[in-house]
Amino acid sequence: MINFMKSNMNHFSYEDWKKYFEKNNTHRLAIPFQNDTLTDKEKKLIFSSICKFEQGEYSDGKHLKKVADIFAKKIHDNDYKYCIRWFIKEENAHSGYLKSYMEHYNVCVKENVVLDNIFRKLRKLAGLRCEVIVLVTAEIIALSYYDALMNATKSHALKAICRQMLHDEIPHIMFQSYTLSHFKNKFYIKFIRILFMQITSIVTWVSCYKVFTSAGWTFKKFMRNNFYYLSQSIKLSTV
């Protein structure tokens, strides 16, 4: 587990975040497919969950852009609008990595994933606050998932993808936590986040437990990991 509480990025303004996303966009992963192999057992193990996360990473961001623009105007910081657009682009790049990996092994991309549909509907229930709570929850769980997935097979291409995801997701959590710090009713937000994390973690474990257990994870470790990162995010959002 990674402690990111002392990172300099925790003191970023939206102007700093915009510069970060712009710079990070120039360092995209070239997936090392050469001599990459998977056994039939490994394919059966990983691709069901990879399909789910590929769909979760992709978004046109229409609603998020809309509420982000309203928020940027409210706080008088136009840089946030650009941060969100860079963030969406980075998330879509993640989806592209996973999609390329599936296509390399002739795995069809699922067009309709139930879990992803639920997340998208929840994000659109209200304004930006709801969007960010759902997003940061998914990003925290993604840290656990990509950590486990990285060790679920011997595929060096998949390991490279997972390392890239982990590298990008931690700043995403700090970025979203900073946004949540702008909202009032901190106790209410904290309660909602803890409850939502409990529910989402259970649903994710049931859906993807084979990947976690194959990498040596237990349900207890999975929950401990998720709430460890959640606690850091909550601290950042209440500063």
Q: Which candidate, 198, 191, 189, places its Cα nearest to that of 222?
A: 198
Rounded Cα–Cα distance for residues 213 and 148 (Å): 8
pLDDT number for residue 125? 65
Rounded Cα–Cα distance for residues 155 and 79 (Å): 39
Is-contact 182 75, C-beta < 8 A? yes
Rounded Cα–Cα distance for residues 226 and 239 (Å): 21
Q: Which candidate, 206, 208, 204, places its Cα nearest to that of 196?
A: 204
Superfamily of domain 39-237: Ferritin, core subunit, four-helix bundle (1.20.1260.10)
How far, rounded to the nearest angstrom, does the alpha carbon of residue 77 sit from its chain's CA centroid?
A: 24
Is-contact 98 161, C-beta < 8 A? yes
Name the helix (H) or strand (E) containing 59.
none
pTM of the model: 0.91
| pLDDT digit string (tens) for the chain, length 239 residues | 778 777 888 889 999 999 999 999 888 899 999 989 999 999 999 999 999 899 888 777 888 999 999 999 999 999 999 999 999 999 999 999 999 999 999 998 765 555 556 666 665 666 899 899 999 999 999 999 999 999 999 999 999 999 999 999 999 999 999 999 999 888 899 999 999 999 999 999 999 999 999 999 999 999 999 999 999 999 999 87
pLDDT number for residue 186? 87
Rounded Cα–Cα distance for residues 158 and 146 (Å): 10
